[in-house]
Amino acid sequence: MDVRTAFAAQNYAQARPATAPRPQPDDAGNGFAALAENFAETLARGEDTAKAAMTGNADPHALVEALAASETAVETAVTVRDKVVEAYQEILRMPV
């Protein structure tokens, strides 16, 4: 087996260390923004369906589905908020 020093050094320089972060696609930082947009869209859809149901233009089944989706979205947002507040309070309790 022929291992040349220059070849080994070049491969070593190109290798990504195990502790280095993996490259992320450009839209990876927009994950939270996409979640917030999806949350707002779900609530808007539920509101539109409720308005249509009040005027008699929507199916009652569609109204129940939209309200259930809105309720799930709000419960998820509240749970995430509670976890963030809990983590913040835990950080504040840490001794300096």
Per-residue confidence (pLDDT) for residue 3, from 0 to 100: 62
Number of Cβ within 10 Å of residue 70's Cβ equals: 19
Lowest mean pLDDT among 56-60, 63-67, 91-95: 56-60
Q: What is the mean pLDDT of residues 56-77?
A: 91
Q: What is the mean pLDDT of residues 69-91?
A: 94
Q: Give the confidence band of 41 by pLDDT, cuts at 50, 70, 90.
A: very high
The DSSP secondary-structure symbol of 23 reads P
Per-residue confidence (pLDDT) for residue 58, from 0 to 100: 83
Domain boundaries, the chain: 27-93
Are 46 and 70 in contact by the 8 Å Cβ rule? The answer is yes
The DSSP secondary-structure symbol of 25 reads P
The owner of tokens 């502790």 is: 19
Per-residue confidence (pLDDT) for residue 31, from 0 to 100: 77
